[in-house]
Chains A and B, each alone.
Chain A
Amino acid sequence: MKEHSREASVAVAIVLLMLVLATLAHGYFSRENLADLFLANMPVMIIALGMTLIILTGQIDISVGSVFAICSVVTGLCARGGLPAVFGLLVACVAGAACGAVNGGFVAYLRVPSIVVTLATMVALRDTLRWKTQGSWVGNLPSNFQWFGVTQQVYTAGTLVMVVLLILLFVLGLRFLRVGRTVFATGSNETAAQIAGINTKRLVFTVFTLTGALTGLAAMLNSVRFNQIPSNSGLGLEMKVIAAVAVGGTAITGGTGTILGTVLGVGLLGSIGTALTFLNVSAYWEKAIQGGIILSAIILNALSTHHKKHANSINALPG
């Protein structure tokens, strides 16, 4: 099917990379490295699920890195306050959802462009956090905080299951929930969607709030990997997330894209850094190669959109 050509090309790129690694870098596929790789990319993966929805509706959220930092610190404070881990998880998700709701409220109901709103919250949230924490890390965490008090293996396996379930939930939700359908309609043509009776404002508000909650979840799951929580975590996270979604074939203008593409996008961009180390290539190349991948993805999108526009314009003349 031609609409899956994008996913296919990212998948091919991943397979090629894996083949190179399999022949040249044997240690790459060791269990430890794969587990590390998964954990390092897990926050990006979880947030990218929400970001895919946001971008599908034609919006963008560049504040996720700052929200991630806030939720991380909140998680640590909860743990230090003696709250059980489950409760900390809940608080992180609620804090993230609240930040997302602020973004979504401005975008959906006050019609402020999402790039402006989330740029503002990105700066405001991070600097508020810096001021509150004075740059200090959250330490003195209880001993059962790291790895949720279980072994690293159990934690990793549990997180993997959770991420896989989330991915499945999003894939199926977009396919089988009515709200999933309205995401594509809204992103393709908001006015037309409104005329078809879709509450596009509520939808936009919801996807921002959901992404906030996912960011909280990701922050919690990530924080427990360490015994201290930096107050500046998540710097540049928004760019990694957006890049992964874009590489996965979701049109930055909204309306088309898949969760599968996003998963592959996260996989491709996330595996390159370590791959370079294993291949003895200078790590300085990482950003350049990632940039190249993003650029080619965007060019591919532009070309295919241009092509479609052209095909459509045959019927576009007035009568």
Chain B
Amino acid sequence: MLIFLARPTIVVAMLVADCPLIVRSPRPVLAINSVTKSFAGVQALKGVSFELLEGEIHALIGENGAGKSTLTKIITGAVIADSGSIEILGQAISHNSPTVSRSLGVVAIYQQPSLFPHLTVAENIAIALEHDGAWLVDWQSRYAQSTRLIESLGAAIDPRRLASTLSMAEQQIVEIAKAIGANAKILLMDEPTALLTDREVENLFRVVRRLRDDGVGIIYISHRLEEILGISDRITVLRDGETIGCHKANEVDRAELIQFMVGRSIASVFPKREVPIGDVALEVRHLRNDEAGLHDISFSVRRGEIFGLAGLVGSGRTELARTLFGLTPSGSDILLSGEAVRINSAADAIRLGIGYLPEDRRQHGVILEMEVATNISMANLEAVSRGGLLDHQKERDLASFYVNDLRIKTPSIFASAGTLSGGNQQKVALARWLAIHPRIMILDEPTQGVDVGSKAEIHELIVDLAERGMAILLISSELPEVLGMSDRIGVMHAGTIAGILTREEATQTKIMSLAFGHFESEVSSV
């Protein structure tokens, strides 16, 4: 009976609290009200509300950084909300934690299954379910239990197989079997199909629909809009840490969803200036790099030009940067000022005048334990040497120059980089690359995790560098930043450049459309 009611085809919609609710609907299994959360002063969630019914597949979508992962962490109890309320199965949860949420039937499944590879399917399931400490293992009942759970999903996997021999899709199914065995009432699926083939996706969806029909509430997170429209009953859109809307899946289309996701106005002003654009500094033609998952990438960046690189997380932007910088060499030619070169190591790239500010500042950008001065000189030790030996006076001069030039706030050039604020660490990382006097500068998320003041300074600096004739490749997940700073924007999707937009024609909607896999020809119609 319940199953029958939950079917979206026979429900009547009405609007309650700006969300179409299902009449005579089953009870909500999860209700989140005006939840807020900030990290180190950055507001990740600014009052998010979300409701999940039993027997419902409810999709959660939004751009990178919209707050999806913070919200899921709040549901699983991995992160505690600053304010707002959470109700699970009608029970107000005052202190959520992974233990509390699990005991109430919340189970999360991620893109990358977390099975123990050297244990069998049955053991993996048993570890998740057996908590009372029996001394002896009843293998027969373990196998029977696994078989029963997996069959209840309409799948067949031998419980004696090692998890490492399972395909990604089979691993996902075992994860789901674990969830059912744990009597999951709320199943959180975060990009479960990202690594699956189309046929595997179809199988997974059959399993998911069956679960839904059994009354489980499913939160489904994905970047694949077609999938979401195909499988979910309702869709909630998050943007900049706020709930933008909740829609029935059969009442919206792709274009509308993209519009909802990006529909913000550009709040901040960017210091973009028109500077003379010079000759082509960097060009690649049909670049392919199997190791990095890149194919058929063609674009060029001119001197003085800021070429933005947009795309979803995982679309291959960082991989492209690492290929150009020689960290994941492609073995194919890259044209620098028209001259074909091979870049097989970072040292090659540096010698050819390419700088690379990596994405993860704390892991890759600066060496936290080392002094500001030694961090700055690191990529160009020749410049601070005399007769093959390091000249510490030269090094201090170089460091002082950049500390003044970039207004790096540090107690001294001998302070270890780890003691500086995020924005100042990023400036130290930038200084290191400016010290090699690059012709081409690759900036990967240069303002991520940086405070507003430093952010503006870094933007100003980027424009300065372009004005001095540097060719700049700017990777950013922040659409306003890409739009505000770039002369042209390449949008990546699934390991290639799906389209290149000029500053004039680029809009958030067009970028997102390309990023979600619509190719250039279709963009004009959006």
Q: Give A residues with C-beta under 8 Å from B.
A: 175-178, 180-182, 184-185, 188-189, 191-199, 255-256, 308, 311-312, 315-319
Residues of B participating in the A interface, judged by any CB pair closer than 8 Å: 39-40, 42, 44, 325, 327, 345-347, 349-350, 356, 358, 362-370, 374, 378-379, 381-382, 385, 388-390, 418-422, 425, 432, 448-451
Q: Which of A175, A177, A308 contacts B418 (CB 8 A)?
A: A308
Question: How far does the alpha carbon of A317 sit from the alpha carbon of B37 in the complex, in Å?
Answer: 13
Q: Could you say which residues of chain B place their CB within 8 Å of the CB of A175?
A: 390
Q: What 7 additional pairs, Cβ within 8 angstroms, besides A176-B389, A192-B365, A194-B327?
A: A185-B367, A188-B367, A193-B367, A315-B418, A316-B362, A318-B40, A319-B42
Given contacts A178-B381, A195-B358, A319 and B448 within 8 Å (CB-CB): yes
Known: A312-B368, A317-B40, A319-B448. A181 touches B350 (CB 8 A): no
Q: Specify the chain A residue showing the minimal Cβ separation from B450.
A: A319
Contacts of B382 in A (CB 8 A): 178
Residue in chain B with minimal CB distance to A313: B418
- B residues in contact with A312, CB < 8 Å: 368, 418-419
The chain A residue sitting closest to B433, CB to CB, is A196
Nearest CB in chain B to that of A251: its residue: B369
Chain B residues near A255 (CB, 8 Å)? 369
B325: chain A residues at CB < 8 Å are: 195
CB distance from A205 to the nearest CB of B (A): 15
A192 touching B389 in the complex, CB below 8 Å, given contacts A178-B381, A197-B350: no
Nearest to B38 among chain A residues (CB) is A317
Inter-chain CA distance A188–B382, complex, in Å, is: 21
**Chain B residues whose C-beta falls within 8 Å of the C-beta of A180 in the assembled complex:** 390
CB-CB under 8 A from B432, the residues of chain A are: 196
List, in ascending order, chain A residues with CB within 8 A of B44's CB. Answer: 318
Chain A to chain B contacts (Cβ below 8 Å), 6 pairs: A176-B390, A197-B345, A312-B368, A312-B418, A312-B419, A318-B42
Among A182, A197, A319, contact of B346 (Cβ-Cβ < 8 Å): A197
Shortest distance between the CB of A206 and any CB in chain B (Å): 15
| Chain A residue contacts of B345, Cβ below 8 A | 197, 199
Closest to B380 in A: A197
Instruction: Provide the residues of chain A in CB contact with B358, threshold 8 Å.
Output: 195
For residue B428, give the distance in angstroms from its CB to the closest CB of chain A: 12
CB distance from A83 to the nearest CB of B (A): 34
Whether B418 and A319, one on each chain, are in contact in the complex, defined by CB atoms closer than 8 angstroms, is no
> How many whole Å from A1's CB to the nearest CB in chain B?
9
CB distance B448 to A177 under 8 Å? no
Out of B349, B390, B420, which one reaches A181, CB within 8 Å?
Answer: B390
Q: Give chain B nearest CB distance to A26 CB in angstroms.
A: 45
- Chain A residues with Cβ below 8 Å from B356 are 195
Q: Known contacts A185-B367, A199-B345; is A319 also within 8 Å of B449 by CB?
A: yes
Task: Report A202 CB to chain B, min CB distance, Å.
Answer: 10
